[in-house]
Chain A
Amino acid sequence: MPITSAPPEAAVLPRRNRKAERGEARAGVLFALPWIIGMTLFVAIPLVVTFYIAQTKFQIIGAPKWVGMQNYEALWSDPAFWKSAQNTLIFGAISVPVKLIIALGLALLLNRATALSGFYRTIFYLPFLMPAVAGSVVFMLLLTPNAGPVNIALEAMGLNPPDWLLDPNAALWTLILLSLWPLGVETLVFLGGLQNIPKDVSEAADLDSPKRWHKLVWITLPLITPMVLFNLVIGIIYSFQVFTQAIVIGGTTGTPAEATLMYMVVLYRAAFRYFNMGLAAAMATVLFVVVLILTLLIFKTARSWVHYEGGEI
Chain B
Amino acid sequence: MGTVQLSNVRKFYGALEVIKGIDLTVEAGELVVFVGPSGCGKSTLLRMIAGLEDVDYGRVEIAGKDVTDAPPAQRGVAMVFQNYALYPHMTAYDNLAYGLRRAGLRRDAVDQRVQETAALLQISELLPRKPKAMSGGQRQRVAIGRAIVRKPEVFLFDEPLSNLDAALRVEMRSQIARLHQELAATMIFVTHDQVEAMTLADRIVVLNAGRVEQIGTPREVYHSPANLFVAGFIGSPAMNLLPATLGPSGVALVSGHVLGGQKGEGEAVTLGVRPDRLTLTSAESAHLSGEAKLIEHLGDETILHLRLADGGALTMKLHGDILLKIGARVHARIDLAGACLFGANGRALRLEGAHETKA
State the A residues within 8 Å of B (CB): 1, 3-8, 10, 13-14, 16-23
CA distance A66 to B53 in the complex (A): 55
B29-55 CB contact bits vs A (8 Å, 1 = yes)? 000000000000000000000011111
* Residues of B contacting A5 in the complex (Cβ-Cβ under 8 angstroms): 14-15
**B52, A20: Cβ atoms closer than 8 Å:** yes
Question: CA of A16 to CA of B48 in the docked complex: distance in angstroms?
Answer: 13
Distance between Cα atoms of A21 and B72 in the complex (Å): 11
B69 adjacent to A19 (CB under 8 Å):
yes
| Residues of A close to B52: CB separation below 8 A | 20
* Other-chain contact of A16, B13, B54, B72 (Cβ < 8 Å): B54
Choice from A8, A10, A13, A19 contacting B54 with Cβ under 8 Å: A19
A-chain residues with CB within 8 Å of residue B12 when the two chains form the complex: 3, 7, 10
B17 touching A7, Cβ below 8 Å: yes
Nearest Cβ on chain B to A213's Cβ, whole angstroms: 41
Task: Tell me if B264 is interfacial: C-beta within 8 Å of chain A.
Answer: no
B window 143-181: CB within 8 A of A: none
Whole-angstrom distance from the CB of A10 to the nearest CB of chain B?
8
> How many cross-chain pairs have Cβ atoms below 8 Å apart between A and B?
41
Query: A8 vs B14: C-alpha distance in the bound complex, in angstroms?
Result: 11
B14 touches A19 (CB 8 A): no
Q: How far is the CB of A16 from chain B (nearest CB, A)?
A: 5
In the complex, A14→B51 CA distance in Å? 19
B240 located at the interface, meaning its Cβ lies under 8 Å from any Cβ of chain A in the complex: no
Say yes or no: B69 contacts A1, CB within 8 Å: no
For residue A1, which residues in chain B have a CB less than 8 angstroms away from its CB? 13-14
Residues of A within 8 A of B248 (CB): none
Within 8 A of A (CB), among B47-87: 51-57, 68-72
Name the residue on A nearest B14 (C-beta). A4
How distant is the Cα of A4 from the Cα of B55 in the complex, in angstroms?
16
- B13 contacts across to A, CB distance below 8 A: 1, 3
Is B72 a contact partner of A13 (Cβ separation < 8 A)? no
Contact A20-B53, Cβ < 8 Å, known A3-B12, A7-B12: yes
User: Is B51 within 8 A of A20, CB to CB?
Assistant: yes
Q: Are B14 and A16 in contact (CB under 8 A)?
A: no
Alpha-carbon separation in the docked complex, A1 to B15 (Å)? 11
| Closest partner residue, chain B, to A17 (CB atom) | B69
| Chain A residue at minimal CB-CB distance from B70 | A19
3 tightest A-B CB contacts, nearest first: A18-B54, A19-B69, A21-B54
Residues of A near B51 (CB, < 8 A) are: 19-20
CA distance A16 to B57 in the complex (A): 6
Which of A3, A10, A20, A22 is in CB contact (< 8 Å) with B72? A20
Q: Give me 14 A-to-B residue pairs in the complex whose CB atoms sit less than 8 angstroms apart, sorted by A's number.
A: A3-B12, A4-B15, A5-B14, A5-B15, A10-B12, A16-B54, A16-B56, A16-B57, A16-B68, A18-B56, A19-B54, A20-B51, A20-B54, A21-B53
Given contacts A1-B13, A5-B14, A5-B15, contact A20 B57 (CB under 8 A): no
Closest-by-CB residue of B relative to A4 is B14
The answer to whether A16 and B55 have CB atoms under 8 Å apart is yes
> In the complex, A3 Cα to B18 Cα: how many Å?
13
List A contacts of B15 (CB < 8 A).
4-8
What CA separation (Å) do A6 and B69 show in the bound complex? Answer: 20
Q: How far is the CA of A1 from the CA of B72 in the complex (A)?
A: 19
CA distance A21 to B14 in the complex (A): 13
Chain B residue nearest in CB terms to A8: B15
- Nearest CB of A to B292, in Å: 35
Q: Which of A3, A6, A17, A23 is packed against the most chain B CB atoms within 10 Å?
A: A3
Nearest A residue (CB) for B51: A20
Query: With A and B bound together, what is the CA distance between A22 and B17 in angstroms?
Result: 19
CA distance in complex: A8, B10 (Å): 14
**B47, closest chain A residue (CB):** A20
Cβ contacts under 8 Å, A7 to chain B: 12, 15, 17
Which B residues touch A19, using CB under 8 A? Answer: 51, 54, 69-71
Contacts A5-B15, A7-B12 given; does A23 touch B71 at CB 8 Å = yes
Q: When chains A and B are docked, how far (Å) is the Cα of A20 from the Cα of B56?
A: 11
Complex CA–CA separation, A3 to B13 (angstroms): 6
Contacts of B53 in A (CB 8 A): 20-21
Query: Which residue on B lies nearest to A13, using beta carbons?
Result: B57
Q: Is the CB of B14 within 8 A of A3?
A: yes
A3 → chain B closest CB, angstroms: 6
Which has the most chain A C-beta neighbours within 10 Å: B13, B14, B52, B70?
B14
Select from chain B the residue with minimum beta-carbon distance to A2: B14
Cα distance A18–B68 when bound, in Å?
A: 10
Whole-angstrom CA separation of A1 from B14 in the bound complex: 8
Across the interface, which residues of B come within 8 angstroms of A18, CB to CB?
A: 54, 56
Cα A13 to Cα B54 with chains together (Å): 16
A15: min CB distance to chain B, Å? 8
B68 nearest in chain A by CB position: A16
Complex Cα distance, B92 from A203, in Å, reads 40
Chain B residues 261 to 287 lying within 8 A of chain A, measured CB to CB, are: none
> What 7 new A-B contacts, CB under 8 Å, besides A1-B13, A19-B69?
A7-B15, A16-B68, A17-B69, A18-B54, A20-B52, A20-B71, A20-B72
Residues of A within 8 A of B71 (CB): 19-20, 23
Closest chain B residue to A9 by CB distance? B17
Cα–Cα distance between A20 and B70 once the two chains are bound (Å): 8
Q: From residue 2 to 24 of chain B, which have CB atoms closer than 8 A to chain A?
A: 12-15, 17
CA gap between A13 and B12 in the complex, in Å: 13
Please, which residues of chain A bring their CB within 8 A of the CB of B69?
Answer: 17, 19
CB neighbours of A22 from chain B (8 A): 54
Query: Which residue among B13, B51, B57, B71 has the maximum number of chain A CB atoms within 10 Å of its CB?
Result: B57
User: Which residues from chain B contact A6 at a C-beta distance below 8 Å?
Assistant: 15
A1 to B12 CA separation, bound complex (whole angstroms): 10
Contacts of A17 in B (CB 8 A): 69
